[in-house]
Amino acid sequence: MLLGRRITVLGAGVGGLAVARALALRGAQVTVLEQSEAIREVGAGLQVSPNGARVLRALGLGAALDSAGPQGRAVELWDGPGEQRLLRMTLPPRHAGQSDVHYLHRARLISILAEGAREAGVTIRLLHRVEQVTLGAHPPRLTTAQGVEMEADLLIGADGLHSKLRAAINGAAAPFFTHQTAWRALLPAEADAEPVAQVFMGPGRHLVSYPLGGGLRNIVAVQERHKWVEESWSLTDDSIALRTAFADFGPKVRGWLDQVEAPGLWGLFRHPVAKNWHAPGAVLLGDAAHPTLPFFAQGACLALEDAWVLAEALAGHDSDAAAFAAYQQIRAARVAKVVGLANGNARNYHLSGLPRAVAHMGLRAINALAPERMLKRFDWVYDHDVTAGA
């Protein structure tokens, strides 16, 4: 049961703030520890698909989501160098006659979740960088960068790719560099920009773009290369390197990239889904448990799903151990399948030579005959509703 339980959450990201609100609404006393001096989200845009939107609506944040950015109408796949559209998949109406796919800036989603957490009674403590988590004796112990030690009656690690809690539970891990690097940027959006996610594909690289509302367009561009790049959201690159990588793409992409200054840069690493998601008094959530490559736009949505399932499990079981076990059992197979799907897209977007020609011929045929069938392959992702129960 959760009434009066004191719970500490590491990380004020999407998953951490969502689980904090979910637990507080069920009666828990929740404190979120965030290492930054302010709640903010670096990066650019993200997509919230229906499976994630259902969680936000169940948390009472649906109206805020609807006003945060445009609702998507379609997904398009393009031949980047030839600038020819290969396939348009219209998103089916799911909510109020619209798709319930949302394009928004990460900072806007973080703001919605932070406001929702505080409104539910969550305490958010900034400048609390946790350097060490000690397990083995209950309750877990935390040591901050300032040398302050504290205990957590129940600890949730929503602290991302470099999670201190994941390392404490599973030991150190060695992620695999995919030999892919990504740039991100925000540009002014055209006044008449249609809310469509477009993927421009080329040999060894691709670029994704969609409008975010508020006069902004999101750009994420990925290139295969052997030079190692740090897995960090704080790096920037020379815009010439980005433009050079896509110099043979069509005028639409080149026109966007001509506007980019100092794009963000990060290396893409493949992390295994954690073997163990929990230990006595502690449990992992979101990227801390199952990082995913950004090739299926599900990182935020999987964290939202985790948040709901974990809160329900803790509220519905007599012991934390039983709740943690149920939570991992419900989530592990699904997240592994979605992570695998993202890994596959990394290959499919970057085909070259004969395989690329054959694949593009197939996409054109699907577009002419039954484009909706392509999208229906992913109904198991988008139609999933964790708020309806296991």
- Per-residue pLDDT, 29: 97
334: left (phi over 0), alpha (psi -120 to 50) or beta: alpha
Which residues sit opposite 207 in a β-bridge? 200, 221
pTM: 0.93
pLDDT number for residue 359: 95
Q: Kind of pairing, strands 176-188 and 264-270?
A: antiparallel
Residues 64 and 231: their CA atoms lie apart, in Å, by 31
Specify the 3-state DSSP secondary structure of 246. coil
Distance, in Å, from the CA atom of 183 to the CA atom of 263, rounded to the nearest integer, reads 6
382 is an active site residue: no
60: left (phi over 0), alpha (psi -120 to 50) or beta: left
pLDDT attached to residue 70:
93
The interaxial angle of helices 299-316 and 50-58, nearest 10 deg, is: 40
What is the CA 344 to chain-centroid distance, rounded? 17
Write the CA distances from 179 to 139, 267, 268, integer angstroms: 41, 8, 7
Kindly name the residue from 103, 210, 327, 382 that is annotated as catalytic: 210
Strand partners, 185: 219
CB 70 within 8 A of CB 60: no
How far is the C-alpha of 253 from the C-alpha of 249, rounded, in Å? 6
Q: Which regions of 58-175 does DSSP assign to beta strands (E)? A: 74-79, 84-90, 102-105, 123-125, 130-134, 141-144, 149-151, 155-157
For 82, other C-beta atoms within 10 Å of its C-beta total 14
Look at strands 74-79 and 196-202 and give their pairing.
Answer: parallel
Q: What is the pLDDT of residue 42?
A: 59
Low-confidence ranges of the chain (pLDDT < 70): 1, 39-43, 94-98, 137, 228-234, 390
Using alpha carbons only, give the angle 204, 210, 213 rounded to the nearest 5 degrees: 155
Task: Fill in the amino acid letter for 76.
Answer: E
